[in-house]
Homo-oligomer: A and B are copies of this chain.
Amino acid sequence: MPRVTLQTIADRVGVSRMTVSNAFSRPDQLSPALRERILAAAQDLGYAGPDPTARALATGTTGAVGVLLTDSLRYAFTDQVAGGFLGAIATELAPTGLAITLLTSSGTGDVVPARDVAIDGAVVYSCDPASPAVAWLRRRHLPMVFVDQDPADDVPCVNIADREGARAAAQHLADLGHRRFAIASALLEGHAARERQRGWSDVLDPLGVEPVFIRHPLEQTEGVRRDARALLSAADRPTAFLCYSDTTAAGVRQAAADLGLRVPEDLSVIGFDDGPVAARMQPPLTTVRQDVEEKGRVAAAALTEAIRRARTGPDGPVRHVLLPTSLVVRDSTGPAPRTPVRPAPPADPPADPPADPPALSRP
Tell me which of B53, B63, B112 contacts A56 (CB under 8 A): B53
A209 interface contact, C-beta 8 A: no
> Chain A interface (Cβ within 8 Å of chain B)?
46, 48-49, 52-57, 60, 62-64, 66, 72-78, 80, 82-84, 86-88, 90-91, 94-104, 107-113, 115-119, 136, 139-141
Return chain B residues, CB-CB under 8 Å to A104.
94, 99
B73 touches A78 (CB 8 A): no
User: Is the Cβ of A118 less than 8 Å from the Cβ of B52?
Assistant: yes
Q: How long is the Cα–Cα vector from A60 to B99 in the complex, in angstroms?
A: 20
Whether A53 pairs with B118 at a CB distance below 8 angstroms is yes
Q: Is the CB of B87 within 8 A of A117?
A: no
Hey, which chain B residues are within 8 Å of A98, CB to CB? 113
- A112: which B residues are within 8 A, CB to CB? 97
When distances are taken between beta carbons in the complex, the residues of chain B under 8 Å from A53 are 53, 56-57, 60, 62, 118
Nearest-neighbor residue (CB-CB) of A69 within chain B: B90
Given known pairs A63-B111, A94-B108, the reply for A73 and B54 (CB within 8 Å) is no
Most-contacted residue by chain B among A49, A52, A111 (CB, 10 A): A52
How far apart are the CA atoms of A77 and B87 in the complex, in Å?
A: 6
**Apart from the given pairs A73-B91, A99-B104, 4 other A-B contacts in the complex at a CB distance below 8 Å:** A53-B62, A63-B116, A77-B77, A99-B117
Contacts of A64 in B (CB 8 A): 64, 101, 113, 117-118
Contact residue among B57, B80, B97, B109 (Cβ-Cβ distance under 8 Å from A54): B57
CA distance A328 to B3 in the complex (A): 51
- In the assembled complex, the Cα of A280 lies from the Cα of B351 at a distance in Å of 15
* Contact in complex: A63, B117 (CB < 8 Å): yes
Contacts of A91 in B (CB 8 A): 72-74
A115 contact set on B, CB distance < 8 A: 48-49, 52
Is B101 touching A73 in the complex (CB atoms < 8 A)? no
A63 cross-chain contacts in B, Cβ below 8 A: 111, 113, 116-117
Contact B118 A102 (CB under 8 A): no
Name the one of B84, B87, B110 contacting A73, with C-beta atoms under 8 angstroms: B87
The reply to whether A99 and B94 contact each other, CB–CB distance below 8 Å, is: no
How far, in whole Å, are A75 and B84 apart by their CA atoms in the complex?
10
A183 to chain B, nearest CB (A): 26
A95 CB contacts on chain B under 8 angstroms: 108
5 A-B pairs closest in CB distance: A97-B111, A73-B90, A77-B83, A74-B87, A48-B139
